[in-house]
Structure 1
Amino acid sequence: MTVNMPLIHRVMVLAVSCAALCGCAGPKEGSILPHDVRLRPGDVVFRSGHGLTSRAVMLADNGGTYSHVGIVADSAGVPVIVHAVPDEPDFPGDSDRVKMERPDKFFSSVNAGAGRVMRIADSGVAARASRVAVAVYMRGTGFDHDYDESDTVRMYCCELVEHAYSEAGMPLTGGRRHSVDLPGLRYRNVIYPSDFIRSPALRTVSEF
């Protein structure tokens, strides 16, 4: 008996069957962080995302290159990245919050299209800043959807990095703050990722 499926249905079935047979169902997730980059505690790391929120951040940042920033810390000799991020739940019901993740997850090709690592010369200050960031993570800090740095109850990504370095005695942004006036996005006194890139205290270790 012949089944007359619509042409587009037959094409879809054929495509799925071929993908299953040849193992080419789609690109595999990987890390965009180069293998030869050695992260150190206190490094400030940047990434640009693929989604609408990331594009909105870069648009607000006068066409900035990156939409997200974090800080490297040490976890029993293993580098991790502490960052405040929305819309990346690790499990059903997970809240938007400050996370501590492996570099390969932070720089996953699912979340990152480009990246950068920057470093300050004073390793002691960098280590202190990284410990402050870990303490923020350990207390279960939520993500600051109001982008308000007047308190540390909740934090957004740039606020977290600036807070960590300010507590370590070396604020990085020079007090630069901005107003965001886009459709649906209106905030005051916001820190952008580009404010860290312009910091004279930071130098670029790797850009990819």
Structure 2
Amino acid sequence: MRKALLSTPKKFGLLTFVIVCILTACSKKDEKAHCIMPAGTTLEEGDIVLRKGTGLTSRAVRIADGGSDFSHCGIIVDSCGRKMVVHAVPDEPDFEGDVDRVKMERPEDFFSTIRASKGCVLRYRDRETAEKSARLAYGIYKRGTLFDDDYNDSDTTKMYCSQLVAHVYQKCGIDITNGIRHDAILPGVKFSHVIYPSDFLRCRRLKRIVTFQDTQ
């Protein structure tokens, strides 16, 4: 998606929004982290995982998306026989000096209460297509693809979360967004041609397997 109206540094335009949200955002820090995904949930390659985040970026995405339940997404891949989540994400470094990038982590970490308060798993109906999409996503991760903070979906050298998921299915000939794109407007910032994580909920080819939230 394309960006416009940025006369200040990229995140500076959200200053007012940050001030409003900062107190509630800090409330999670002292809680003991746990995974909100129900025990025994079976994940398959190509599954699309959505989460409602706990941070400021998540709040901004949900406000721009009209109050959607979900602000971030990833795709399940197979890594040496273990199901993992590949997702493009900012501000989640794994080590000091880590850059914003496409990363891979355990579903238990993706759905940790540190970063998630609600989750959902969607499954594409054709296993072969789903598995091929997962392999493409794994390749994007292995290439060290950076996060695209310009949100430009015409450029796949960098990627944002929902762009990555839509892209790998599109490479298999499947449009799981139904061609839907949005303009996103936040204080001082405007993005155009946006794919939201919630767009995948409208795809009839995707079956909702489970929806869950933090109950503790």
TM range, normalised to the smaller chain? 0.7 to 0.9
Question: 2:119 — aligned with what?
Answer: 115
One-letter amino acid of the structure 1 residue matched with residue 68 of structure 2: G
CA distance in 2, matches of 1:29, 1:64: 24
One-letter amino acid of the structure 2 residue matched with residue 198 of structure 1: R
CA distance in 2, matches of 1:183, 1:131: 38
Question: 1:152 — aligned with what?
Answer: 156
Aligned-residue identity in percent: 51
Q: TM-score, normalised by structure 2?
A: 0.83
Aligned counterparts, 1:79-90, within 5 A: 79-90=83-94
Q: TM-score, normalised by structure 1?
A: 0.86
CA distance in 1, matches of 2:181, 2:31: 39
One-letter amino acid of the structure 1 residue matched with residue 121 of structure 2: V
Select which of 114, 139, 144 maps to 2:143. 139
CA distance in 1, matches of 2:115, 2:105: 13
CA distance in 2, matches of 1:30, 1:172: 31
One-letter amino acid of the structure 1 residue matched with residue 74 of structure 2: G
Structure 2: gaps spanning 5 or more residues: 1-29
| SS at structure 2 position matched to 1:47 | strand
CA distance in 1, matches of 2:65, 2:197: 8
Question: 1:125 — aligned with what?
Answer: 129
| SS at structure 2 position matched to 1:89 | coil
Alpha-carbon distance, 1:170 to partner: 1.1
CA distance in 2, matches of 1:123, 1:185: 39
Alpha-carbon distance, 1:181 to partner: 1.6
Structure having the higher Rg: 1
CA distance in 2, matches of 1:168, 1:134: 14
Aligned counterparts, 1:162-201, within 5 A: 162-201=166-205
Alpha-carbon distance, 1:184 to partner: 2.9
Aligned counterparts, 1:18-167, within 5 A: 27-167=31-171
Alpha-carbon distance, 1:185 to partner: 2.5
- CA deviations 1:146-203 (Å, max 9, x no partner) are 1101111100000000001011221200111001122133111000111101111111
Indicate the RMSD between aligned Cα atoms, in angstroms. 0.9
Instruction: Determine which structure has greater relative contact order: mean sequence separation of CA pairs < 8 Å that are 6+ residues apart, divided by chain length.
Output: 2
- Greater alpha carbon shift after TM alignment, 162-171 vs 124-133: 162-171
